[in-house]
Amino acid sequence: MAHVELESCEFDRQQEEIRLAALHATSILDTPPEAGYDAITRLASEYFTAGAAVLAFADRSRVWVKSLWSRDHYAARMVREVPRTDSIFDLVIAADGPLEVLALSQHSDFGGRLALLKRLNVDAFVSVPVRSPDGIVLGALSVFWDAPHPGLGIEGLQILESLADMAASHLELRRLRRHLNTRTKRRPRQAIKATDAWPRRSDLLRAIDEHQFVLHYQPEVDLSTRRIVALEALIRWHHPERGMIAPMDFIPMAEETGLILPIGDWVMKEACRQIQSWNREDPNPSTLRVCINLSARQFSRPGLADHVQALLLQTGIAASQLGLEMTESSLIPNMHTALEVLSSLRNLGISLLLDDFGTGYSSLNHLHSFPFDVLKIDRSFVSRMSSGEQPLQIVRTIVELARVLGMDVVAEGIETAEQYQLLRQLGCRYGQGYLFSKPLSAPAVTRLLRLPGRVLPEPDPAALVLA
């Protein structure tokens, strides 16, 4: 059995790009379960008398479960995805062959890499790679037991590898079918003109691989007490030559290239890790929530709730400490999937925030249909509050609507004492903006959280427009 260095599974960037290209050529990701794959996992589970068998494939930041067969407590439902970090998949790539862990509890060198397996009461597993015809590892077929296992032996491993080869044959058929369909529908393409636009895809890839992204956090306060009740996580790009880059300068390219998915997954993972760190300092951490913005492409993934649940298990934070923000535009492309994803997240206990409320086309319909907890009043409404009765009435209506629906409301972009006073008069309970604090680094936020009662100082009247 191949030895694996568990604490450092770093992969060559070029080889990883080749692997991802081969994976995407199969069009296997984000596709519905298929009976052919279920037959493979069922056979593996029954033949080896295992608690569960899983066939999964991994892109840059997640392991997508194509088929899971379980006869017991391992899976009450189909789990669609988990974070790739701290997963079996990277260990399988590092081993470059079958990987047997026959007594997980005896492996002190695992550290926190497989914490999720420990929490799921898995004590032994065997995984074999699923390869492309060129030998590239695209996925893994794994069987799990809830007690130490004697091992499969040479014959057992050969059988498991044969089942993995069956899955690989399915993949190759998918790739050929997709290739034929693409060739018959192919249209002449216009020549792409050279451009000096920045960033390029390669720049974003380097930023991901070299850990150049950072999170800043902007406090959300109770307007009556100025107590910090939540934080909004905001991504920044700390470029080694260009300095700190705002998200508006790179998120559009990330969306266009599809790299918004691994970037967004990193944001969720890093925010959860930071919550875990703050929990170690605060004896009563559950009252603080960190909110993360989701892109439309993230939100369209059916396995998003599984991914979030795995992060909660890995970091040990409470679901109530995590909030997910989405705009109305992220709901529109696939309303059915949106409702399923939102309901799954709500069942976990995650707070759901509708961002930029009032700027979409059918806000009331969305409020009626989806289980949001919080409305966020768009900064454009807040900035115009003092310019006339109509903008003020819009904010008043949103606050009253939230009250009737039993939802909290947060005003964004509060910059003046006048806006602060008006919002309090309207009954808006929560707010955020430069009046209280700009987005800050994690160490700076840590210092704020150490203030008595987490209460921010009174804003300086000399620097503000007073009512």
Predicted pLDDT at 264: 94
State the pLDDT at residue 87: 83
Going by pLDDT thresholds of 50, 70 and 90, the confidence category of residue 423 is very high
Asked whether residue 244 falls in the same domain as residue 100, the answer is no
The verdict on 256 and 124 lying in the same domain is: no
pLDDT score at 16: 86
pLDDT for 328: 77
Query: Which one of 123, 154, 182 terminates a domain?
Result: 182
> pLDDT-derived band of residue 465, with 50, 70 and 90 as boundaries?
very low
- Looking at residue 296, what is its pLDDT? 84
Q: Choose among 140, 136, 139, 107: nearest CA to 122.
A: 107
In a domain, 378, yes or no: yes
Residue 187 covered by a domain: no
Q: Of 147, 182, 217, which residue is a domain's last?
A: 182
At 233-286, the pLDDT tens digits run 999 999 999 999 999 999 999 998 889 999 999 999 999 999 999 998 876 656
Mean pLDDT for the stretch of residues 104-124? 69
Model pLDDT, residue 464: 47
CATH number, domain containing residue 443: 3.20.20.450
pLDDT of residue 396: 93
CA-wise closest residue to 288 among 220, 379, 382, 376: 220
- At 356, is the pLDDT very low, low, confident or very high (cuts 50, 70, 90)? confident
Which pLDDT band, with edges at 50, 70 and 90, does 17 fall under?
confident
Which has more confidence, 427 or 465? 427
pLDDT at 107 exceeding the cut of 50: yes
Does 159 lie in the same domain as 208? no
The reply to whether 144 and 275 lie within a common domain is no
Q: What is the mean pLDDT of residues 382-397?
A: 87
* Axis crossing angle, helix 417-425 with helix 389-404, rounded to the nearest 10: 50
Residue with tokens 């309207």: 426
Is 274 contained in some domain?
Answer: yes
Per residue in 147-204, pLDDT (tens digit) is 888 889 999 999 999 999 999 998 888 778 766 765 555 444 444 344 558 899 999 9
CATH of the domain at 99: 3.30.450.40
The confidence score (pLDDT) of residue 193 equals 44
Residues 334 and 444 in one domain: yes
- What percent of the chain shows pLDDT beyond 90? 48
Q: What is the mean pLDDT of residues 293-313?
A: 88
Could you tell me the CA-to-CA distances from 417 to 223, 230, 386 in Å, in that order? 11, 21, 11
β-pair type (408-411, 430-431): parallel
Residue 189 belongs to some domain of the structure? no
Give the model's confidence band at 2: pLDDT under 50 very low, under 70 low, under 90 confident, else very high.
Answer: very low
Same structural domain, 368 and 232: yes
What pLDDT does residue 448 have?
94
Residues 281 and 240 in one domain: yes
Residues 115 and 219 in one domain: no
Q: 144 forms bridges with which residues in the sheet?
A: 52, 125
Residue 353 lies in a domain: yes
- pLDDT for position 92: 87
* Backbone φ, ψ for residue 352 (5° rounding): -115, 125
pLDDT at 212 > cutoff 90: yes
What residues are paired with 101 via a beta bridge?
Answer: 125
Report, as an integer, the average pLDDT of 314-342: 85
Q: Of the segments 8-17, 146-155, 409-418, which one has the largest average pLDDT value?
A: 409-418
- In a shared domain, residues 135 and 271: no
Do 220 and 173 lie in one domain? The reply is: no
How many angstroms separate the CA atoms of 50 and 200, rounded?
A: 46
pLDDT one-digit tens code per residue, 306-322: 999 999 988 889 999 99
Whether residue 156 lies inside any domain: the answer is yes
Within a domain: residue 194?
no
Residue 113 has pLDDT above 80, yes or no: no
Domain span at residue 154?
Answer: 13-182
Contact of 254 with 200, CB cutoff 8 Å: no
**Structure-block tokens of residue 132:** 């492309």
Answer yes or no: do 209 and 159 share one domain. Answer: no
Q: Is 99 helix (H, G, I), strand (E, B) or coil?
A: strand
Quote the number of domains for the chain. Answer: 2
pLDDT above 80: residue 207: yes
228 and 289 housed in the same domain: yes
What is the reported pLDDT for 286? 61
Which residue stretches of 96-152 are H helix? 115-119
Report the distance separating Cα 410 and Cα 180, nearest Å: 51
Contact 29, 62 (CB under 8 A): no
Q: Are 428 and 399 in contact (CB under 8 A)?
A: yes
From 154, 182, 210, the end of a domain falls on 182
pLDDT at 353 over 70: yes
Residue 338 to residues 263, 301, 310, 369: CA-CA distances in angstroms? Answer: 21, 9, 20, 10
Higher-scoring residue by pLDDT: 333, 447: 447
Q: What is the mean pLDDT of the chain?
A: 84
